[in-house]
Amino acid sequence: MTSLFVATFTALAGLGQSQTYQRLGTCPSLGCIFPPDQADFLAGQYFGIRLEVHAPRNGSEAIDRAPDEDFTFTLAKSGASPQSAEDFFSIKSPEIETWNFTWFEDLFARDADTPSLVQVASKAYRRLHINEPGEYTASLSYYNGSTTESTWTVRDIAQVRKAKNVILFIGDGMTTNMITAARLIAHKSINGKYQSLMQMDKFPILGHQMTHSIDTFITDSANSATALYTGHKSTVNALGVYADSSPNKFDDPKVETIAEIFHRVTGGHVGIVSTAYIADATPAALTAHTRDRGQYGAVIDSYLHGITNYTWTNWTGPDVLFGGGAENFFNSSLGGVSYMDKDYYAEFSNAGYQLVYNNTQLQGASNDEKALGIFSISNMAKWLDRNVYPDNLQGLENDPTGSGGDAIDQPGLKEMTLKAIDILNARSEDKGWLIMSEAASIDKMMHALDYDRALGELLELDDTIKATIAKLESLDSLKETLILVTADHGHGFDVAGSVDTKYLRAQDDQREKRDAIGTYQNSGMSQYVLTGNLSYSDGTYFPHNWGPRYTLYQGVIANPDRREDWRVRKDGPREPAVNATPAEDDYIVNPKDGKGGIIVNGTLPVNNAEGVHSLTDVPVFAMGPCQELFGGVYSAIDIFFGMAECLGLSQVNGEGEGDGNHHHWGGYSGNGWKHGPA
């Protein structure tokens, strides 16, 4: 009967790739290789391999047998003979693992509660690396004749370090459309000519990166960060791993991140800064390896200890870790939810970190010691609330110590980033540094349809970039630092005109309210900036009036039910929809939001409380050594390869066993990067 099985599931191969639900992303056939077909690697980059053989026992792919445990797996460099993985990597064969999982083939199956059962036989290989550039064929044979092949490419990148430092700014969810809107409300224009520009606008190199996931065309921030940091696209919710089907959320095959490689190979220093809770996906993906971004406690532990459940990169912690999310640091006695209920403030302190909890302490911190700065419970305050509506910081009981007080004295992205540079610059000496600085709440406020706050966060990011350039110049480090500004995905945002908010409120009829919208010749000019001759002598660019009569007619393409009055939310971040039937998650217009505005039903499933990510390519702005690598249109993974190339991290001739003191890769000679391009 074996041949019949083969014929059956060969014919069905591909059915497992439904749209709404998938049996397992990147595995349309019944034999799965992770990393899958089309994976790219940096020479020497650590990674794991997961092999799975699937036996669907019911549903459209059903076969009448258990999963094949006698599958074989080989690797072959292009032109060479296949070798077993054991021979190829000189490792022992791992044990067979087995498990079951279920999935729904589509929404009808979900409604009928008829899941499909899949039995799995699997092996996993841990911490491998390939140092020779070229094409490799990974081949999984199973069910007596079926084969899944994956072509892998180890990119041929020269081992020449061109930058001492890299700072990667991520505007989470930031699109070109948002930059355009932010420019409009913060920069003065006379007769169609801007009198000042965004700092991003002045970058010499512009690129676009494609953000889609490996197995879906819309990404979340976990797997997009994984792509940016590892050169490997992954699955929604996955951090630094390819998502397998096993029940264990920590056994998925890992890929080494730019932070880990940089630290391991060069001994370079790492800084992590975010305005989100610091266990959030974008910072987490630098050191965490799990397919579940919700494992916040483990994420915090990984910052300090790296990966401990399997052999992995030796990691001794970042020099700087600044952000929110205090609840993942203190234990349950203070209301926290820390890993194993430990006191992570104490853990970091014991590891030599100075601890800072507010901006005053941050400014006073030593530049010579590692620093952990946690400034609030949950996400940090938004620029608009800190600077324009500070009363909104009161009463939140979000003090990072868990005292129950309010976190009033919070730094912004600029203050955190400049301090991070000071510390990294002082501590790294000739090793150089890598900083990731995230404007997280561009995304969070776009989710909430709070366009004004999102644009405020974007302008704060731009102000941070401007201050960073000045800081690097003052440290004489600008020419040896690659500065990248990009995003991890978009939101479908744009502006289509203006709103006469006075007229809107004066109309009673919903249809007549729509007449308040001015498009084309009636859109006018921005009233958020001063129109007189007053100069922006302080050199910072934010709106001078967040509540003009004529506001931006702005929105997103997909949202829950909402009421729009296109006025700034002075009482704090917007909550467009509320749950009418919590048992069912049925979100309707928040009766307290946008009073006097126009009610618009959404098209998102009614269990959505807020907006969602979008497809659009996002911009990349590059300045400094290697800037030329970042022009044009490319995949998100190319950001990783560009940074790795610029830092000289390709280990073509080494053994991938660097410990921070090895410099067995070519092109580096102490201060070699000091002679890079201007």
453-492 residues in contact with a second copy (CB under 8 A) are 490-492
- DSSP assignment letter at 614: B
- Tell whether the torsion through CA atoms of 639, 645, 647 and 651 is positive or negative: positive
Phi, psi torsion values for 15, nearest 5 degrees: -70, -25
Number of alpha carbons in the 13 Å side-chain half-sphere of residue 458: 32
Does 619 contact a second copy by CB under 8 A? Answer: yes
**Which residue among 113, 520, 591, 670 contacts a second copy (CB under 8 A)?**
520
Tell me, yes or no, if 221 is annotated catalytic: yes
Binding mask 105-144 for a second copy (x = CB under 8 A): -xxx------------------------------------
DSSP 405-455: ----S---HHHHHHHHHHHHHHHHGGG-EEEEEEETHHHHHHHTT-HHHHH
Q: Is 187 annotated as a binding residue?
A: no
Residue 429: CB atoms within 10 A of its CB come to 10
The residues in 528-557 that bind a second copy, with binding defined as CB under 8 A, are 531-532, 549-550, 553-557
What is the three-class DSSP state of 602?
coil
CA dihedral 311, 313, 315, 321 (to 10 degrees): -110
| DSSP string computed for 55-98 | EE-SSTT--SSPPPS--EEEEEETTS--EEHHHHHT-PPPPPEE
Residue 363 or 601 with smaller CB distance to a second copy: 601
Q: How far is the CB of 448 from a second copy (least distance, A)?
A: 16
Residue range at the interface with a second copy (CB under 8 A); choices 227-235, 317-325, 479-487, 664-672: 227-235
Catalytic residue among 221, 245, 302, 650: 221
Q: What's the one-letter identity of residue 178?
A: M
Residue in 226, 230, 290, 291 with CA at minimum distance from that of residue 256: 230
Single-letter amino acid code for the residue at 533: N
Q: Of these, 91, 396, 600, 609, which contacts a second copy (CB under 8 A)?
A: 600
Q: Is-contact 218 20, C-beta < 8 A?
A: no
Single-letter residue type at 625: P
User: Does 179 help bind a second copy (rule: CB under 8 A)?
Assistant: yes
Nearest-CA neighbor of 138 among 196, 44, 71?
71
Interacting stretch for a second copy, rule CB under 8 A, among 92-100, 330-338, 471-479, 494-502? 494-502
Among 164, 188, 233, 414, binds a second copy (CB under 8 A): 233
Subset of residues 192 to 221 that bind a second copy, contact rule: CB under 8 A? 192-194, 197-198, 200-208, 210, 212-220
Least CB distance from residue 41 to a second copy, whole Å? 13
**Binding segment toward a second copy, per CB under 8 A, in 271-279, 366-374, 421-429, 626-634:** 626-634
Residue 10 CB, nearest approach to a second copy (Å):
12
181 binds a second copy (CB under 8 A): yes
- Judged by beta carbon, residue 267 or residue 642, the one nearer a second copy is 642
Please, what is the minimum distance in Å from the beta carbon of residue 625 to a second copy? 17
User: What is the rounded distance in angstroms from the CA atom of residue 381 to the CA atom of residue 377?
Assistant: 10
Asked whether position 650 contacts a second copy by CB under 8 A, the answer is no
Can residue 603 be called a binding residue for a second copy (CB under 8 A)? Answer: yes
By beta-carbon proximity to a second copy, the closer residue of 16 and 56 is 16
* 678 near a second copy (CB under 8 A): no
Using the rule CB under 8 A, give the single segment among 50-58, 248-256, 266-274, 517-525 that binds a second copy: 517-525
- In the window 32-51, what residues touch a second copy (CB under 8 A)? 36-40
**Binding to a second copy, residues 563-582 (CB under 8 A):** 564
Q: Binding to a second copy (CB under 8 A): which residues in 291-330? A: none
- Are 341 and 332 in contact by the 8 Å Cβ rule? The answer is yes
Q: How far apart are CA 423 and CA 165, in angstroms?
A: 13
Q: Is 489 annotated as a binding residue?
A: yes
Host H or E run for residue 301: helix 296-305
DSSP 3-state of 529:
coil
Which residues ranging from 580 to 599 are in contact with a second copy (CB under 8 A)?
Answer: 586, 598
**Can you say which residues are annotated as belonging to the binding site for Mg(2+)?**
172, 280, 282, 438
Which residues are known catalytic residues? 221
**Can you say which residues are annotated as belonging to the binding site for Zn(2+)?**
172, 443, 447, 488-489, 613
